[in-house]
Amino acid sequence: MLGVVGYPVGHSVSPQMVNAALRHAGVDNVLYISVEVKPRDLQAFCRSARLLNFIGFNVTIPHKVSVIKYLSRLDSSAKQVGAVNVVKVVGEKLVGFNTDVHGVMHSVPSKRDVDGGVVVLGVGGAARAAAVALKRKGFAEIVFAYRRMKTAREFKRFAESRRIGCRLVRMGSDEMAEEMRRCGLLINATPVGMHPHTRASPIASNLIHRRMTVFDMVYNPPETKLLKAAKARGAETINGVNMLVAQGAEALKIWLRLEADRKVMEKAVVDALKMFSRQRTIT
């Protein structure tokens, strides 16, 4: 078994994506499933994973940081980010990895291609991956917008320990609005706008301007309310599908040493998202 663990996971098309990659590669003895695990049950799942015949699993919202305390050790990729999105079962041990950085690296432009600063919405596990990737992309200072002070303080400690230049602004504040005026790259690293809450956006549309590139890590729906607003205001847009495929392909290397066909994976994602869209239209 392989799978994705989160709460909720009803939005995930990872099963369709990974199973398509496995079948295409001729791997017919492994099945990837989604497993809804509430925060209070995460420890129990981790303890039971090997007994349930899991050889590995993805970790998604809201477990990317909290899962760390239930793992045997962390790969350097997870240590650097301080968050885990891939777990491999090695004997009786659980080893944590992070492939989200790889996904972000494949999705966002480099500093030389951005006219202005960068603003990241969120300070959770996905924002940590964005921070590491953006530093590698050449951004010396990154602005992160937060809602809860406790999480912001934890993120600040993380950024300082990795020597990532960051400034924190409260979501919806005048300071954030000022940063948005100077922003050349906006990244949504929150789940706001994700299925089934597709009518939500993390920011007001009037904060977006045409000189921006807007990248939304949310991939379901592929065009979120945020991306629709960005497109309407003349901004460049990037959805979360590329990131999903890139991090998923890296996970398959970790679990099975499999070089997956990314075109097959992308087609499976696009087809699954079309099915989601049809279902939403019907309901």
Residues involved in catalysis? 64
C-alpha 185/C-alpha 212 separation (Å) is 5
CA 112 to mean position of chain CA atoms: 24
Strand blocks (E) in the chain = 2-6, 32-36, 56-59, 73-74, 86-90, 93-97, 117-121, 142-146, 166-170, 183-188, 213-216, 236-238
Are the CB atoms for 190 and 124 separated by under 8 Å? yes
Q: How many helices (H) and strands (E) does the chain have?
A: 10, 12
For the record, the structure tokens of 246 come out as 């890139």
Are the CB atoms for 84 and 73 separated by under 8 Å? no
Q: Are strands 93-97 and 86-90 parallel, antiparallel or unpaired?
A: antiparallel
Residues 164/170/174/180 CA torsion (nearest 10 deg): 50
C-alpha 229/C-alpha 226 separation (Å) is 5
User: Nearest 5 degrees, angle CA 258-CA 25-CA 261?
Assistant: 70
**Residue length of the chain:** 283
